[in-house]
Amino acid sequence: MITDPKNHPNSSDTGRRAVVAVLLPREHLPFIRDWCLHHIEQGWEVVLYDNTGSVGSTRKTSAFSLNRWHGRSEDKRGNSYGAFTRSMSDSEVQVAFRKELHDLPVTIVDWQPREEDGRIVHGQVEAYVDYVSRYRDTVAWAAFIDADEYLEHAPGLDWEALLAGATQADSHRVVLDALVYESRWTRDGQLRDVEELKCLGLQSHGCKNIVRLSEILRADVHWGWKTSEPDSLVRPRPIPLLLPPLPRFGGGTRLHSAAELRTPNPRRRCGCSGGN
């Protein structure tokens, strides 16, 4: 585990690239090691913002608006992830979380932004701003996703080719399609057999992004990213809808790139895309 990597082992011809996630360790503890390994094996650095103690988001449009789910230790599908670690304090969960990752090249940032009343809140966009301010001069691309979302490139393609294509097209943002799987938690907080999880189809709302750090002017969770001109984006071509369940990982969302890139439309601005 590393706290502030200067010379990270994962580097490439297109520059360093990282997966960045803001998370509650309590929600992801049983799955986080395999999630990290999945991305490390694809050449991504992994940066986790530990939001322990959060009661949710201050954004009214967020699925995690204050106390709506995090205050009850439930995910946005109403499943009680908190039941799995009910006997553990927040500090004990944090210790277990770090123990799971102690031998992996993962960066963990303590992230407990507070409201005026002292409550710890989510601060997802603020965490992204923090990451960009730290690494915009040393990391080329970053994927800003959630810790139950798994990056997958299409067969016959790798991330080097995808990002090289985006660079050649003079585009600063790649919008990803997403396939949704059944929840990895049961309603009462038990772990499900991942071999039985089914794909529910293509996500119809929200979008996640891989963004060139040096060009970011405004951070967001979904559509509202803003980059320097030309403020264009590339989108994956449609992907096969039905794919086998994730064999090693819990359910959630599987984010995909495509085997080919569409030519970006310079008139299509970040924040205006109805991405998935």
Tell me the three-class secondary structure of the chain, residue by residue: CECCCCCCCCCCCCCCEEEEEEECHHHHCCCHHHHHHHHHCCCCEEEEEECCCCCCECCCCCCCECCCCHHHCCCCCCCCHHHHHCCCCHHHHHHHHHHHHCCCCEEEEECCCECCCCCECCCHHHHHHHHHHHHCCCCCEEEECCCCEEEECCCCCCHHHHHHHHHHCCCCEEEEEEEEECCCECCCCCECCHHHCCEEEECCCCCEEEEEHHHEEECCCCCCCEECCCCCCECECCCCCCCCCCCCCCCCEEEECCCCECCCCCCCCCCCCCCC
pLDDT average, residue stretch 38-60: 84
More confident residue, 110 or 72: 110
**Minimum mean pLDDT among 136-145, 195-204, 248-257, 264-273: which range?**
264-273
**pLDDT band at residue 57 under the 50/70/90 scheme:** low
pLDDT (mean) for 52-77: 59
Domains observed in the chain: 17-256 (3.90.550)
- Residue 11 — pLDDT band, cuts 50, 70, 90? very low
Q: What is the mean pLDDT of the chain?
A: 75
Residue 212 has pLDDT above 90, yes or no: yes
Residue that wins the pLDDT comparison between 61 and 89: 89
Please tell me which residue, 108 or 72, carries the higher pLDDT value. Answer: 108
* pLDDT value for 274: 26
Mean pLDDT of 106-130: 84
Asked if the model's pLDDT at residue 83 lies above 90, the reply is no
63/223: higher pLDDT: 223
